[in-house]
Structures are given as C-alpha cells and as structure tokens.
Amino acid sequence: MEFLVNIDIDDLEKAIRFYRVAFGLHVGRRFGADGVEMLGGSAPIYLLVKTAGTYASDTTEQVRSYERHWTPTHLDFVVEEIETAVHRAVQAGARLEKPIAAHQWGKLALMADPFGHGFCFIQFLGHGYDEIAE
C-alpha cells in the first residue's frame, strides 16, 4: 500500500518555500494555482490551497484556521541531527513549541509550521523505538 500526505495551506508559494527549506523537499508536479506535489521524503506531500474560514467538509461545521490548531494526526520527520533540523525549520518559519527532549529511544522536538500544523522531528538513538518495545 502506498500513502500520500495532504496538507491544507492558504499561501502556496510561502508553503513551497517553507517545505523546501525546512525539510529539503523539492517541487514535483504542479496542479494549477491550487496545489503542488513536494518530493524528497518517503511519501509525497501535496500542498493544497484552501481558504481560511472555509468548511473542512460538507459534513462538519468546523472551518479551516491557519492559527496553531490541534489535530489527532501529525507528521514526524526522522532526522540524523535534530538540533540542525530544528534550526533550519525555525529559520524557514517554524516554531519550536518545547525544548528538544531526550528519551531512552531518542530525541524529540515538538514543532509547528507557519500554517498552524503540528509536526515533530525525531532523532533515534541506540536502537530507536526498539529500546522501549516489549
């Protein structure tokens, strides 16, 4: 099975710059003025222009907001050197929400992109999640 990642944004060029600089992704295909495919990770990321204040679906009254928001799903980016990744992302417009935390399995940085979406950087140490697996 293959999966794709779709991220709603309100400014396509700003999003392209952010995801290029912060994660080293590059533009694949463009879909007119309202979408672009970003490549270079283990799954393509599709940046989709959706205006703030529009309904997220026909079955909900929830509207899109590009302020910091919570969602039960987020992206984790596994990196070799977390401090460098955090610095690069912050320079590109991300926000570090908590200081980098060290765990038995590795290091974790809780972040938010310029569109309010949460994401994390993970740097595995030792055997990664196997350090805590049962």
Number of Cβ within 10 Å of residue 10's Cβ equals 18
Number of Cβ within 10 Å of residue 75's Cβ equals 17
Residue % of the chain over a pLDDT of 70 = 100
- Average pLDDT of the chain is 95
**Plot region of 53 (φ>0 → left; ψ -120 to 50 → alpha; else → beta):** left
Class of domain 67-134: alpha beta
The reported pLDDT for the residue numbered 57 is 82
Contact 108, 125 (CB under 8 A): no
Dump pLDDT digits (tens) for 30-82: 999 999 999 999 999 999 999 999 988 888 888 899 999 988 889 999 999 99
The reported pLDDT for the residue numbered 70 is 86
Can you say whether the dihedral through the CA atoms of 66, 86, 19, 76 is positive or negative? negative
Mean pLDDT of the 1-21 span: 96
Class of domain 1-53: alpha beta
Contact 50, 94 (CB under 8 A): no
Answer yes or no: same fold for 1-53 and 67-134.
Answer: yes
Q: Where are the domains of the chain?
A: 1-53, 67-134
